Amino acid sequence: DAGITQSPRHKVTETGTPVTLRCHQTENHRYMYWYRQDPGHGLRLIHYSYGVKDTDKGEVSDGYSVSRSKTEDFLLTLESATSSQTSVYFCAISANRGSRSTEAFFGQGTRLTVV
């Protein structure tokens, strides 16, 4: 397996609290992604990064922010958690993108429950 670690693996939090999920990679891949997975919706892209301090929004970015201060770390923050953000969150990395895209490697996932 590729060197990609998500933390925490499980978290229960209260509505209205901020939450930060961490993705750490040891592959030195340029591209990093945060997805959420919900029944019937597959994997939906939240935010992605194409380099240190270079990030952009995905299709479901409202209520989320990200930061990438180092190549190896990509943080996802729920600014004020809501029950609709209860989901399984996956981080992924890839070496290339677009027409030169190569396989993406996924972390083990974080199961987040907002009560």
Whether 92 contacts 32, CB under 8 Å: yes
Span near another protein by CB under 8 A; candidates 9-17, 37-45, 62-70, 76-84: 37-45
Q: How far is the CB of 20 from another protein (least distance, A)?
A: 20
What stretch of H or E contains 20? Answer: strand 19-25
* Window of 9-17, 38-46, 60-68, 75-83 that interacts with another protein by CB under 8 A: 38-46
Q: Measured between alpha carbons, how far is 101 from 18 in angstroms, rounded to an integer?
A: 33
We find the least distance from the C-beta atom of residue 28 to another protein, in angstroms, to be: 18
- Select 33 or 74, whichever has its Cβ closest to another protein: 33
Which residues have C-beta within 8 Å of that of residue 54, sequence separation ≥ 6? 68
Whether the Cβ atoms of residue 114 and residue 98 lie closer than 8 Å to each other: no
Amino acid at 100: R
Please identify which residue in the block is written with the tokens 């901020």.
18
One of 48, 63, 64, 69 touching another protein (CB under 8 A): 48
60 Cβ contact partners less than 8 Å away, ≥ 6 residues apart: 36, 44, 45, 46
Least distance in Å: CB of 8 to another protein?
15
Q: Out of 28, 69, 102, 113, point to the residue binding another protein (CB under 8 A).
A: 102
Residue numbers of the site for another protein (CB under 8 A)?
31, 33, 35, 40-45, 48, 50, 56, 58-59, 90, 92, 94, 97-99, 101-109
